[in-house]
Amino acid sequence: MTNNLKYFIGNWKMFGDFGSFKIIHKINQYIYKNKKFNKSKIVLCVPNTLLDFFNKKLKSQLVSLGAQNCHQQEGYGAFTGSVSALMLKKMGAKYIILGHSENRSEGESYEIIKRKITSALKQKLNVIFCIGENYKEKKNGKTFTILRKQIKGSLEKRFNKNKILLAYEPVWSIGTNMIPKTNELRNTIKFIKNDIKFFFNTNKCPKILYGGSVNPKNIRLFSSITEIDGFLIGGASQSSKKFIDIIKNYYK
């Protein structure tokens, strides 16, 4: 992973078909023509059904592809309907989202996420590890306690921190158009940075992203928070225009 880059990572969720390649194509062309954006790393995490097809079409282009989840078992196994990190790597994934709240809410434990991260790192995938408090936890002043628990519960000191990006995604902000107050967000990002540095016993902090209702309008609020190294963008990444406008407006 290269340093000093701002990350713009799309999370397509359960969206798209072969025809959706035009979205990636437009983003790719835009980045190509606007050299000033070479300080950004663009990743699109798409459904498994599209990885191989997009990967073949994208060969040696500027956008990288990622997956959105994997099974904790390494390699192959008797797990009907599941896909391992190895299989995703073979399909062209360079990144993988793990610990997303939409998967946690379906029963993914800290331990399972840890095993998923372990298997993804074995495949040399870059892991986008999602953490975040829900609304009730926020209201009860438990945000930092929860974030620390999630970090300690699923990371291991021996993990290669250079291959991990942390995505702070408050659950109450995902798909709701509600975003944290600037000051609150700055403090939370600082908290995560300090916690992670302490955890890995290092001065070199992994990249910390923000995710939750990022759009072309509110990106200017986020760009003032220099501690944020990039963004995990859900709904808005399903439109090339919105995704490009987010990047454009970030650098305005």
Number of residues that bind ligand PGA (CB under 6 A): 13
- Separation CA 11–CA 46 (nearest Å): 7
- Separation CA 102–CA 167 (nearest Å): 14
Q: Of 171-210, which residues contact ligand PGA (CB under 6 A)?
A: 174-175
* 133: contact with ligand PGA by CB under 6 A: no
Facing residues of 66 across strands?
Answer: 45, 95
* 211: contact with ligand PGA by CB under 6 A: yes
- The active-site residue, picked from 71, 100, 102, 108, is 100
Which residues have a Cβ under 8 Å from the Cβ of 120 and sit 6 or more positions away? Answer: 70, 85, 96, 98, 127
**25 catalytic, yes or no?**
no
* 212: contact with ligand PGA by CB under 6 A: yes
The one-character DSSP state at 146 is H
* 238: contact with ligand PGA by CB under 6 A: no
Q: Of 148-167, which residues contact ligand PGA (CB under 6 A)?
A: none
* CA 212 distance to own-chain centroid: 11
Q: Which stretch binds ligand PGA (CB under 6 A): 56-64, 72-80, 179-187, 227-235?
A: 227-235
Four-CA torsion 101, 221, 180, 125, nearest 10 degrees? 20
* 45: contact with ligand PGA by CB under 6 A: no
Q: Of 3-22, which residues contact ligand PGA (CB under 6 A)?
A: 11
Positions marked active-site? 100, 169
